[in-house]
Amino acid sequence: MKRQLMPANSQEAVTFGTTRGAARKVMCVDMDEVLADALNEQILLYNREFNERLTISELRGRWIWDFVPPDRVRALERHIQSDDFFERLAVIPHSQRVLERLQRCYDVYIATAVMEYPQAFVPKYEWLKRHFPFIPSSHIVFWGDKGIVRGGFLIDDNPRELRLFRGEAIMYSSPANALVREFRRVNSWLDIDELFMDHRRRDAGQETCQLIGASDPVRRKAIR
């Protein structure tokens, strides 16, 4: 494995590479709303504190921070900063099984942001190690700006991060990004499974990764 690290005052991108074969690519995966269901926990805590009935459907096209009254934003921040917030987060369905399989052909990194809430560093790390123990610690990366990463794929729910990424950006559906149309979109980890895995020989026990070009019609068909 080789890494090109960015000096503290440099604007150059960090490049991840591999010596395990030219076909093997890097896959960066976001944590919140892609692996961990943070939004449902936020809604639960918000409704409990303010005796509201906010639902997922009401957040279509809007982040929860922009939806709630301004005087309640601090409460959302307080919830995230609580000691047990990340501990309670549910795992997004099928993400563990699919991500473990993808490791066969991709160098998988978990790329998650903690700069706005640095106290989340340890809780996020512990959550990932508990639910995704097959991801080595060296492949868990905490970023302030994913735009410094270049190459491979990024699966993320945040349009801003996808626009900055220097590679193939894939949007994981969430209520807030429902109206965004500029990226390839997957609605679940089953979509990701079909996009990146070749199941044609599954019955023979020879299931492999689908190492095809981004413009291949098979890959386009796999996108919902």
| Domain definitions of the chain by residue range | 14-36+91-222, 37-88
DSSP 8-state code for residue 19: S
Query: Could you say which of 32, 156, 191, 193 is catalytic?
Result: 32
Task: State the chain's mean pLDDT as an integer.
Answer: 81
Please classify residue 31 by burial: count the beta carbons closer than 10 Å to its beta carbon, then call 0-12 exposed, 13-18 middle and 19+ buried.
buried
- What amino acid occupies position 33? E
Query: Could you say which of 30, 156, 191, 193 is catalytic?
Result: 30
Kindly report the pTM of this predicted structure.
0.81
What is the third-level CATH fold of 14-36+91-222?
A: Rossmann fold (3.40.50)
Q: 40 vs 18, which has greater pLDDT?
A: 40
Examine the pLDDT at 211 and tell me if it is beyond 50: no
**Is 32 part of the annotated catalytic residue set?**
yes
- What amino acid occupies position 106? Y
Q: 118 vs 57, which has greater pLDDT?
A: 57
**Is 71 part of the annotated catalytic residue set?**
no
pLDDT tens digits along 128-148? 999 999 999 999 998 777 667
For residues 77 and 180, the answer to whether their CB atoms sit within 8 Å is no
Structure tokens at 176: 């807030």
Examine the pLDDT at 35 and tell me if it is beyond 90: yes
Band (pLDDT 50/70/90 cuts) for residue 213 is very low
Query: Which stretch of DSSP H or E encloses residue 169?
Result: strand 166-172
